[in-house]
Amino acid sequence: MLDFQNQAWLHLAARGLSVPRLIATSDGREIAEAGGHLVRLFTWIDGNALVDVPLHDEQLLLSLGDLLARLDRALEDFSHPAAIHRRLHWDLRHADLARVHLGCCGRAAAR
């Protein structure tokens, strides 16, 4: 799964999107082991998390929509063997997977 994610990041970067870059270890590995855990290191893109922006005005939402469209377009031709038989939670075709988390949403879950 980590290789799938790494390849997706590299694919987006190769298409010119401004995404964090994967930093390989000194011996060239993109995934390393530290303390019994698999780890990766990415560069940082300066900015603010959407949740920390006080006003979600029309310009911000249009910008977000534009970014998501560019991500979607860039990933149109991406494939990886790990994605073939996997139900990814962020894939809208499998939105039903989010039902188990509705209780975390408070009043929003009742709507």
Q: List, for residues 31-65, the tens digit of each pLDDT value.
A: 999 999 999 999 999 999 999 999 999 999 999 99
Alpha helix stretches (DSSP H) within the chain: 2-14, 58-74
Provide the residue range defining the domain that includes 7: 2-110
Q: Which residues contact 36 (CB under 8 A, 6 or more apart)?
A: none
pTM of the model: 0.71
User: Bigger pLDDT: 91 or 49?
Assistant: 49
pLDDT of the residue at 101: 81
User: Bigger pLDDT: 27 or 83?
Assistant: 27
Q: Are 53 and 60 in contact (CB under 8 A)?
A: yes
- Using pLDDT thresholds of 50, 70 and 90, give the confidence band for residue 109: very low
Q: E-strand spans in the chain?
A: 22-23, 32-34, 37-39, 41-42
Specify the number of domains making up the chain: 1
Block residue for tokens 């870059």: 21
Q: Say whether pLDDT at 8 is over 80.
A: yes
Q: List the single range of 23-32, 47-56, 101-110 with lowest mean pLDDT.
A: 101-110
d(CA 87, CA 41) in angstroms, rounded, equals 26
